[in-house]
Structure 1
Amino acid sequence: MKAFAKQFYRSKAWRACRAAYIAQRLRIDGGLCEECRDQQGYIVHHLVQLTPENIGNPAVTLNHSLLAYVCKDCHDRYEGHGLGRGKPMACAFDASGQPVDRRRL
């Protein structure tokens, strides 16, 4: 989470908006990921990237039409999200749980 957004994501307004959006998605389709439709939603994603300039604008930050309930896999594919931040991960795990250096694959 970016430093400028910490206060917003901890706010009552965001927590209420997030809970209402998830409840809405649960009523619509049981809470499936709005991207892949294969997994359960995990995180409410802002479709408009939040910036220091728009973080105080509820028409952007609290607008249900600008949100998506997505699974972790789909969320991490958005630019600037996920551990790799758009770059392939250098490490993965094999079927037995052992780390594999992906740079050598």
Structure 2
Amino acid sequence: MKAWAEWFYKSKVWSETREAYLISQQYICERCGAPAKIVHHRDYITQANINDQSITLCWDNLEALCQECHNKEHHAKSERKMRYRFTEDGNITPPPIHEKILAKNRPRGDYNFTLQGRAYVV
């Protein structure tokens, strides 16, 4: 939960809306049929729309989800960003997280090889 949205998710009106919506869906995930415990906003809440009740509290914008489906919804975009890609000249580029992991776990003085075959000492 983002810090700027904490007040909303802890509010009585959200708690009551969330509970009523889950009851209306019989606590069943609307995507896979598993037990639901999360009420997801189809149009994500942002700092710009957090005070707009048609976004935050309207049942047309809510969806009962299980944890797995909710994770898929929110992590699908970041997973796409983490895939290997190609530059315009055809060289493969690793996902950004890959470079961070390598840098963190590489011993000092170890060689680092770029994808273009160049090596340098870290």
Q: TM-score, normalised to structure 1's length?
A: 0.70
Greater relative CO, 1 or 2 (CA 8 Å, sep 6+): 1
1:80 Cα deviation from its structure 2 partner = 5.1
User: Aligned residue pairs: how many?
Assistant: 81
Where does residue 45 of structure 1 map in the other structure?
Answer: 40
Where does residue 17 of structure 2 map in the other structure?
Answer: 17
Describe the superposition over 1:48-100 as per-residue Cα deviations: whole angstroms up to 9, x where unpaired.
Answer: 1110000011111000111000110000011358xxx7339xxxxxxxxxxxx
Of 65, 73, 80, the match for 1:78: 73
Summarize the Cα distance change of 1:61–1:80 in structure 2 as closer, same or farther, 3 Å threshold. Answer: farther
Where does residue 8 of structure 1 map in the other structure?
Answer: 8
C-alpha separation in 2, matches of 1:80 and 1:5: 19
Where does residue 32 of structure 1 map in the other structure?
Answer: 28
1:23 Cα deviation from its structure 2 partner = 1.2
C-alpha separation in 2, matches of 1:80 and 1:10: 23
SS at match of 1:49: coil
Contact kept in structure 1, 2:22 and 2:37, CA below 8 Å? no
Contact kept in structure 2, 1:45 and 1:70, CA below 8 Å? yes
Contact kept in structure 2, 1:77 and 1:86, CA below 8 Å? no
C-alpha separation in 2, matches of 1:16 and 1:32: 18
C-alpha separation in 1, matches of 2:78 and 2:28: 24
Which 5+ residue runs of structure 2 have no aligned equivalent?
A: 81-122
Q: TM-score, normalised to structure 2's length?
A: 0.60
Taking only the aligned residue pairs, the percentage that are identical comes to 35
1:19 Cα deviation from its structure 2 partner = 0.9
What RMSD over aligned residues (CA atoms) do the two structures have, in Å?
2.1
